[in-house]
Structure 1
Amino acid sequence: MMSDADTPLHLFIYITAFLIGLPNAVLAFCCCIRKIHSKPLPIDIIMLNLVISDLIFLTFLPVKMKEAADNMVWNMPYILCHLNMFLFFLPIYSSCQFLAAISAERYICVTFPVKYKNPRRITYTILICALIWMSVIVLIVIIYKAAYTGSEIITNQTEPQQCYTNFEKLQDVLKIRLGTAVLFCIPLIICCFCYINTIRILLKLPLIKRCRKLRAIGMALGTLLVFTICFAPYNASHIMGYIIKDNPKWRMHTYTVSTLNACFDAITFYCISYKMRLAFKVCAKGFIQLYVRIKVFF
């Protein structure tokens, strides 16, 4: 369980991720749907899947808020404990894969612009996204089976009931976690390679507009923030847990920090979608006008 001092911090991060991430994800979802209905591009397909991943996560985040508010004591129905594990971890692994797919798509767009216009790329992109979802679901099922005993709520009424904390076969769980930490490095390497080369190529092209170059840099920085701040500590806890043969005491903090990926993904959405940028400008203008009216009123 968390200490009483940690509870406000965890709740603050959850609430911040929810309030910032949900409006951006809904807005990005609407923009993706409209774009796909008009003139879809491979990047729109991947972006839609990343948005869906974030929406799955954000929809279930209030359950994590309730758990954190109760100091990690599980006071909710038993079935939510299993959904808590599946719907919380699924977006973590899927987001890594879709961010890597976006970086690869941007690299192909800049490096092979002629091949990028091939109409079959839409079909290939859909297949790649389906493969990502299938692979992530299989991975979560493997983790679930290994941790099934531990995911059950403790029935001993003399102890606080918790979810996904105690494991009878902890060593098996630690081995699987180590494997997922290794897999985490693959999309990270793909993102670094693709964005470094994409930015390098764009900077050498004098006819490319400065704003497009800045968006490429923004996407790279946004992705780097997601990997380093949100996912790297979480996977580092896997490696440390395997070394010490136990759950690190700071592991719960990595869970909480990983929720911020829903906030940083907004940077990617903004850099990819023109309609998203336009919507941001409209919303910002509306907030400024509202602030001015309130200030004048008082």
Structure 2
Amino acid sequence: MVWTVNLSKLVLAVDGFTLITGVPANILAFYTFCKKIRQRSTPTDVLLLSLTISDLVFLFFLPFRMVEAANMKWTLPYFLCPLSGLIFYATICNSTFHLTAISVERYLGVAFPIKYKLKRAPRYAVIAVVFFWLVSMAQCSIVYVMQYHHHSNPNFTEPSKRNSCYDEFSEEQLKILVPVRLQLFVVYFCIPIPICCFCYFRCIYILTNLPNVNSKKRMRSIGMALGTLLVFIGCFMPFSVSHLEGFIGGYSTEWRPYALLTCTLNACFDPFIFYFSSSAFRDTFKSVLRELVRRMHLHCCYSTFSCLLQKGGAAEQRIHRANDISSQ
């Protein structure tokens, strides 16, 4: 990839927006789900907590990529390059697993409410979460293989001497990398997207045909289903399509950096899913919002009162000066 000024500005804008909005929202979600799990946990709470942790880890390593974009080359210690790459890609893959699992859990709860309630247990969600993390980290370890793979080409630049991070590949590397990217396309998009579509469209169909469901709850569930699908498709489809094009052509696509930006935005879109998925998160969000409004109101009242005091003091001083002049 060749850095340009426009690409650098775009990456910094998207990553900066994601960082500013995603960090406080995910910290709030982390606090909420930890508190909820300590009280009474459900499989959904476990999945949402793990997804929140994945997003926070992603956001923690995002500044490394912002530094590269700002300098238009990799200037940090080189061992951080494969490490940040591993975390970046593994958390993206991890998010697709979690969003798919949440869709399945929602569908089972709506389609088989009694039977599923008797069998649902948080420990199954914990097992699934551990599996998701292990598989994502293992499959994305290809980043380390590519960075430190032995190159037979004598003209190829050693990784530690390059100015870019995980962007320039030899033909020898692409022979290994391209088939792996096809596998990522199948495992993290072709399989999850039909599952999510089936689960959420079935949820919408069932909810719209149940007469006794509260209309507010029905609309919230439908909004959560549609929102999750839009986030999934909008954030992960461009990146997945770049895998497929790269496999067909046997190269890394030039527009891949732009596709990665949509994946980056997922970290600040996930809290919207949390809002519709968890009543505990909605309650926490509303209480925090009320507290912020209350403090802003108090601050405004204090500022107005201070301003009035200052004006009153100035007026009093003018009166005293006028009295002094008249007495003379």
Q: Normalised by the size of structure 1, how large is the TM-score?
A: 0.91
After TM superposition, give the deviation of residue 100 of structure 1 in Å: 0.4
Q: Is the contact made by 1:153 and 1:161 (CA closer than 8 Å) also made in structure 2?
A: no
Query: Does 1:191 find its partner at 2:196?
Result: yes
- Percent identity, aligned pairs only, is 38
**Would the alpha carbon gap of residues 155 and 120 (structure 1) be closer, same or farther in structure 2, given more than 3 Å must change?**
closer
SS at match of 1:167: coil
Cα deviations across residues 135-190 of structure 1 (Å, max 9, x unaligned)? 2122112454255449x96444xxx6111012231122111101111112111111
Structure 2 counterpart of 1:170: 174
Structure 2 unmatched runs, 5+ = 151-156, 308-328
Query: Does 1:253 find its partner at 2:258?
Result: yes
Distance 2:271 2:248 in 1: 35
Query: Does 1:101 find its partner at 2:101?
Result: yes
After TM superposition, give the deviation of residue 114 of structure 1 in Å: 1.6
Q: Is the contact made by 2:179 and 2:247 (CA closer than 8 Å) also made in structure 1?
A: yes
SS at match of 1:161: coil
Cα deviations across residues 4-31 of structure 1 (Å, max 9, x unaligned)? 1121111010011111111111111111
Cα deviations across residues 225-284 of structure 1 (Å, max 9, x unaligned)? 322221111111111112222111111111122100011101111012212112222333
Q: Is the contact made by 2:86 and 2:143 (CA closer than 8 Å) also made in structure 1?
A: no
Distance 1:193 1:48 in 2: 24
Q: Normalised by the size of structure 2, how large is the TM-score?
A: 0.83
Distance 2:90 2:256 in 1: 18
Whichever residue aligns with residue 16 of structure 1, its letter is F
Structure 2 counterpart of 1:219: 224
Query: Does 1:179 find its partner at 2:183?
Result: yes
SS at match of 2:177: helix
SS at match of 2:79: helix
Structure 2 counterpart of 1:13: 14
Q: Is the contact made by 1:177 and 1:238 (CA closer than 8 Å) also made in structure 2?
A: yes
After TM superposition, give the deviation of residue 291 of structure 1 in Å: 6.0
Structure 2 counterpart of 1:210: 215
After TM superposition, give the deviation of residue 76 of structure 1 in Å: 0.3
Cα deviations across residues 74-106 of structure 1 (Å, max 9, x unaligned)? 100111112111111111000000000000000
Structure 2 counterpart of 1:233: 238
Whichever residue aligns with residue 138 of structure 2, its letter is V
Structure 2 counterpart of 1:60: 61
Distance 1:66 1:225 in 2: 30
Larger Rg belongs to:
2
Distance 1:182 1:225 in 2: 19
Query: Does 1:89 find its partner at 2:89?
Result: yes
Q: Alignment length, in residue pairs?
A: 293
Structure 1 unmatched runs, 5+ = none
Distance 1:238 1:263 in 2: 24
